[in-house]
Amino acid sequence: MVTQVKAWGNGQGIRFSKELLDTLGIRLNEYLNVKVVDGDIVLSKTFKHRTLEERAAEYGGELNLTEELSWGEPVGREVW
């Protein structure tokens, strides 16, 4: 893919096709890390901690936090 640096307000910007961003899993307004490696610009997705609700959504939105779990008797110096 070839793209062009264009004026964007008082700065410059580069546009990427929606298809390319979809392929990479990059969404609108998502932040990217920018590094210069051996004279090349490298863009990478930032790591974002997901909330408990976002993680639960992957499992149908059910948190199932009503059940108490037994971890057994203490083995070391932990306090229950």
Tell me, what's the pLDDT at 17? Answer: 93
Number of residues assigned to the chain: 80
Residue 62 counted as domain residue:
no
Residue range 44-65, pLDDT digits in tens: 998 888 888 888 888 777 766 7
Number of domains present in the structure of the chain: 1
**Overall average pLDDT of the 63-72 stretch:** 76
Domain region containing 37: 5-57
Residue 51 counted as domain residue:
yes
State both tokens at 19.
């298809």
* Report field, pTM of the whole predicted structure over 0.75: no
State both tokens at 29.
């307004």
Judge residue 39's burial from the number of C-beta atoms within 10 Å of its C-beta, 0-12 exposed, 13-18 middle, 19 or more buried.
exposed
Q: How confident is the model at residue 70 (pLDDT cuts 50, 70, 90)?
A: confident
**CATH code of the domain in which 20 resides:** 2.10.260.10
The distance from CA 48 to its chain's CA centroid, rounded to whole angstroms, is: 4
Residue range 12-47, pLDDT digits in tens: 999 999 999 999 999 988 999 999 999 999 999 988
